[in-house]
Amino acid sequence: MRNNPSPTISFGAFSIEKTLVFKLWIGIFHLVGVLGLYVEFTRTYFQTLTPLHLLMCAGILLYFHTDWSKGFWWFAIAAFGIGMLAEIIGVQTGLLFGDYQYGPVLGPKLAGVPLIIGVNWFILAYSAGQLSRKFIRSNWGAAAVAAALMVVLDFVIEPVAVQLDFWTWEQGDIPVENYLGWFAVAFSIQLLYQKLSFDKQNPISTFLLLNLFLFFSILVFIL
């Protein structure tokens, strides 16, 4: 089943492309987020908004997604499920990523892992997979490049997440094991993304991925 929303929003005789409207919204939202997290007085409030931020990102991606076939649903469920399972194993055993624990900021948890983390795995896997697919036709090659992109983003996210109490590492330092584990888990999800049959075009996903990267890159330097 495919859903093709109207490409424009009309205000009487005036119309504007929906992608432009949502790109402006994404850019403004992330800029406000940077300022809110930078100012100590508002930081706690903006920390608690993080789950809503991730749900908004997922909602925008899904709004511009057009192919609701079984292939997409298998991917979406797998991205959420594999990501959550890997994180639960990590938190409960120290395997895959190293010894770490989630703080209270990210909302309700399942076996020590916030449910929103599964949504985060979906967002990153979907966006990185879509970007790599634009340039690489090989399923294995596209999966490897997309998984590497996810690791690069995690590298930027990690120090910010620790500062904002999203999660903490028991030894203090972020182990290399974390990035190796991230690549392995991301690669398994990306193989599914690349191999499953559904329309992988989304006009907003690359812009969203870039904003997430810039958002955390800026916070690395100002927090």
**Among the listed residues 217, 102, 100, the one whose alpha carbon sits nearest the alpha carbon of residue 160:** 217
- Grade residue 16 by pLDDT with cuts at 50, 70 and 90: confident
For the stretch 178-189, pLDDT in tens is: 999 999 999 999
Would you say residue 15 has pLDDT above 80? no
pTM of the model: 0.93
Give 130's contacts (C-beta < 8 A, 6+ positions apart).
200, 201, 202, 205, 206
Q: What is the mean pLDDT of residues 118-135?
A: 97
Cα(127)–Cα(202) distance, rounded to whole angstroms?
Answer: 9
- pLDDT reported for residue 14: 64
Give the per-residue pLDDT at 3.
58
Position 12 scores a pLDDT of 57
Q: How confident is the model over 28-46, as a mean pLDDT? A: 95
pLDDT at 172: 83
Average pLDDT, the chain: 93
pLDDT value, residue 201: 92
pLDDT confidence tier of residue 34, bands split at 50, 70 and 90:
very high
CA distances from 8 to 17, 25, 51, 56 (A): 4, 15, 29, 20
* Chain CA centroid to CA 221, Å: 21
- pLDDT value of position 190: 98
Instruction: Answer whether 44's CB lies under 8 Å from 37's CB.
Output: no
